[in-house]
Amino acid sequence: MKVACLNKISPLGINRFKPDFQLTEDVNQADLILVRSANMLEMEIPSQLLAVARAGAGVNNIPLERMAEKGVVVFNTPGANANGVKELVLAGMLIAVRDVIGGVEWVRENKADENIAKSVEKAKAAFGGTEIIGKTIGVIGLGAVGGKVAKACVDLGMKVIGYDPYISEEARALLPMEVALEADLDEVYPLCDFISLHLPLLDSTKKMINQATMATMKPGAILLNFSRDQLVDDMALELAINAGIIRKYVTDFPNPKTANMAGVIAIPHLGASTEESEDNCAVMAVDQLVSYVELGSIRNSVNFPRLDCGPKTSRHRLLLLHKNGDSFLAKLTTALGSKTQVTNLLNNTKGHFGATAIDVDGDLCPSVMETINGLEGLIKIRMI
């Protein structure tokens, strides 16, 4: 297996590959790709490519549907960097309400002042602020990061309102009972001193923070965006900042507009850039690739369903990636016929796509294989 890394990936992950996995500089030769933020949207997909693993949560730099159509399984690493991002969100809240950055800059500018110890006492009035205890935060999106942010804010003595129509049972169970879940997002904005975004960039979430939503926010609200730049409409943001609706916008995704906007604290995408998060993401990404290659297991894929294949105990294992629908499974079982000794068959679907693993003892008859290969809807077949 040839593995291409499109970004720097922690050696802790890379070193988990056994010797039959080799790194390549040439992406066109790759069977597997590890990526962080490189833009793959326009990339030509190599015909032999089996899987892509994103060392991070967001997958808006990967053409998921196009990959699925070619039978390329795309994985992400949900939760692996969540603590790193959560900690930076907390820092973002604190530097938004207290002018620590302005104060530190003042000290730098005045470092030659012999009387600096005295001067600070006069100068500091310009860098005061407010506290976060007792304030209300709306956490929009309660996945791995949002859930941790909500809990930390409860621990810091804040009132927390959570919004997530897709919250999983596991995520809900981990939330402290103090988090008030609100079903209507429009009800959240007017109540909050802080609003923190923790959701993916999709067509449905693009510019979700816009003129209309900002008009309903509490005047002086602080908006935190550690998810993706385009969730916020920049033009509307500038108007809201000038009108005093948004007191500060803290973003981990600067762009030419927000980098030059007054009232914006822009951080250079540092949320997951901690040693721990980079290690965790790399380990999880590599383990998922290896388990897919060696067992056919699919875990944390964003374009194919979950498939927990377990160890291979039969003579053959076939992994089929296919379209969901047109009675694919029925046609497959017919194609296997009564003579194929199937010991296990796992099937799952996600959206338009499906995955099936078949364990077989005894011989796999070439004519059976030929029929399976010709099945309508089959995208890729691999012998494990």
Contact set with ligand MLT (CB under 6 A): 36-37, 56-58, 81, 269, 271-272
Question: Is 134 exposed, middle or buried, given 0-12, 13-18 or 19+ CB atoms closer than 10 A?
Answer: exposed
* Cβ-closest position to ligand MLT: 56
Pairing of strands 32-35, 2-5: parallel
β-pair partners for 183: none
In this complex, which beta carbon is closest to ligand MLT, that of residue 146 or of residue 354? 146
Residue nearer to ligand MLT on the CB measure, 168 or 242? 168
Q: Write down the least CB distance from residue 57 to ligand MLT, Å.
A: 4
Whose Cβ is closer to ligand MLT: residue 137's or residue 267's? 267
Q: Write the burial class of residue 81 (CB in 10 Å: 0-12 exposed, 13-18 middle, 19+ buried).
A: buried
- Rounded-to-integer distance, Cα 168 and Cα 226, Å: 21
Least distance in angstroms from the C-beta of 60 to ligand MLT: 8
CB nearer ligand MLT, residue 225 or residue 340: 225
Least Å distance between CB 272 and ligand MLT? Answer: 3
Question: DSSP letters of 9-44?
Answer: --HHHHTTS-TTSEE-S-GGG-SEEEESS---TTPP
Least CB distance to ligand MLT at residue 266 (A): 15
- Would you say 37 or 344 has its CB closer to ligand MLT? 37
How far apart are alpha carbons 371 and 363 in whole angstroms? 15
Residue number, 57 or 171, with CB nearest to ligand MLT: 57
Maximal C-alpha separation, the chain: 92
Question: CA 337 from chain center: how many Å?
Answer: 42
Min dist CB 34 to ligand MLT, Å, is 12
Least distance between ligand MLT and beta carbon 69 (Å): 23
Angle between helical axes of 100-109 and 82-97 (0-180°, round to 10): 70
